[in-house]
Every structure is written in structure tokens, then in C-alpha cells.
Amino acid sequence: MDLLNFKDYDLLIVTIIGAFLTFVINSYLQIRTAKQNAALQRAEIKRAQTFQLLSRIFEPGPVGDARLEMARWVAIDKVIDHDNLDPKDDKVILSIIDFYEFVCEGALVGKTVDLDLLNQESGGRIQRYYLLLEDYVEKREKKLG
């Protein structure tokens, strides 16, 4: 077969193959673009949910009040004595622990919290609270068994 002298059916076959390849490539690119857009949309939703969740700690209520109290404790280097703890202080501690447990569960188990954003926005606060409450948590775990 001489490539310069196509017969009609040869040209038809080459045209069909070219059209098919164009279709396959275009379909692949559309699917890839759709997957990328869906991933970006999921990431945006996750970030929005994370911001919304983290903003709760600044709202008035048990968690917001606990955050303010914890900030005061961190500022004065308060020592948390599990054995002689005021019930009001215990409520503050449990509010903070419950809140961050819920947030971290969403980040690690449910994958509904943006872990990078959580670390960026609250990582330092979580670390300070953990250092302040580490002995309290260990003693409480031993007490509860």
C-alpha cells in the first residue's frame, strides 16, 4: 500500500480511527477535569466546615466561656490539681476536652475537618491546653479505669 495513494476505504478507516482517538482523548480530559473540580469543591466545603466549627469556640456559651477561662489559666500558669478540683473548673476542662475531641474526631475519623487548617488556626491553642491538662487527663483516666 502506497501511503500517498489512499484508496477511499483507507481514508475512511483513518478518519474513523482519528475521530475515535479524538473522542477518547477528549472524554479522558473531561473526566479528569471533572474529578479535579470535584476534589477542589470537596476541599472548599471541608475548609468552610472547619472554619465554621472552629468559630464555635469564640461564640458565647459553654465552649466559648471555657476557652476564655483556659486562656486565663494559661496566662497565670495555673496548676490543675485533679484531686482538689472545683466542680466549676472541672466543667470548664470537660467543655474544652469534649470540643477538641469532637474536632479531632472529625479530622481523623470522619475526614470532615481540614487538618492543615485546624493546625494553622488552633494548633498552638490545642498544644497549650494539652500541656496544662496533661496531668489532669492522666489522673482522670486512672481514676475511671
- Residue listed under C-alpha cell 481514676: 143
Please check whether residue 100 is in contact with residue 137, taking contact to mean a CB–CB distance below 8 angstroms. Answer: no
Phi and psi angles of residue 113, each rounded to the nearest 5 degrees, phi first: -115, 135
| Per-residue pLDDT reduced to its tens digit, 95-123 | 999 998 888 888 888 788 888 888 888 88
Q: Please give the pLDDT value at position 44.
A: 93
Q: Rounded CA gap, 23 and 109, in Å?
A: 40
Report CA 133 to chain centroid distance, whole Å. 24
User: Under 8 Å CB-to-CB from 92, ≥6 apart: which residues?
Assistant: 65, 66, 69, 70
The grid cell for 8 is 477511499
| Per-residue pLDDT reduced to its tens digit, 33-69 | 999 999 999 999 999 988 988 888 888 999 999 999 9
Q: Max CA-CA distance within the chain?
A: 99
**Per-residue pLDDT band at 80 (split at 50, 70, 90):** confident
Instruction: Return the half-sphere exposure (C-beta side, CA atoms, 13 A cut-off) of residue 66.
Output: 20
Whether the per-residue pLDDT at 84 is higher than 90: the answer is no
Over residues 10-37, the mean pLDDT reads 92
Coil vs helix vs strand at 111 = coil
Q: Please give the pLDDT value at position 25.
A: 96
Cα–Cα nearest to 98, from 73, 63, 143: 63
pTM above 0.85, yes or no: no
Please state, for a pLDDT cut of 90, what percent of the chain lies above it.
Answer: 34
Question: For all residues of the chain together, what is the average pLDDT?
Answer: 87
Q: Please give the pLDDT value at position 3.
A: 54
